């Protein structure tokens, strides 16, 4: 009987851990999708527009805080998107950074 209680307790602990990992994976997938959408939308702009109004910004989504910056270089623009996943339960804050370089020919 004691072995059965220990086994069931172990399964409950493992189940909670797996559930937390799945939730964390879903949050990271959402954050990556948000960052990719921002990179795509900024990459589609002309370099002059990137240097102007789109040079930086922040947006709060449901569980993700997004910020971006555009850095001027020699014939390139570097776009960096930072996303922070809001913690749920015992999870810690997870900052993620995505970056791309856009060649400028205009």
CATH number at residue 20: 2.20.25.110
Q: Residues 88, 23: contact at Cβ < 8 Å? A: yes
CA distance linking residue 34 with residue 28, whole number of Å:
10
Q: If you write DSSP's letter for every residue of 33-82 in order, what string do you get?
A: HHHHHHHHHHHTS-HHHHHTTTSEEEEE-SSEEEEEEEEE-SSEEEEEEE
- CA dist 38 and 100 (Å) reads 11
Tell me which DSSP letter residue 89 carries: T
Pair 35, 98: CB distance under 8 Å = yes
Residue 5 φ/ψ, nearest 5 degrees:
-65, -45
This model's pTM is above 0.85 = no
Overall number of domains in the chain: 1
Mind listing the pLDDT tens digit of every residue in the chain (106 residues)?
565 555 555 555 565 555 555 556 778 888 899 999 999 999 998 888 887 766 889 999 888 899 999 998 889 999 999 999 887 666 677 789 999 999 988 6
Domain that holds residue 98: 2-103
């Amino acid at each position: 009987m004691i072995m059965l209680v220990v086994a069931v307790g172990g399964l409950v602990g493992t189940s909670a851990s797996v559930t937390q990992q799945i939730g964390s994976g879903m949050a990271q997938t959402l954050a990556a999708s948000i960052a990719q959408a921002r990179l795509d939308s900024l990459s589609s702009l002309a370099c002059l527009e990137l240097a102007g109004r789109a040079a930086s910004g922040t947006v709060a989504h449901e569980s993700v805080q997004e910020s971006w910056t555009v850095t001027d270089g020699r014939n390139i623009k570097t776009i960096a998107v930072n996303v922070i996943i809001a913690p749920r339960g015992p999870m810690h804050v997870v900052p993620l950074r995505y970056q791309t370089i856009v060649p400028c020919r205009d």
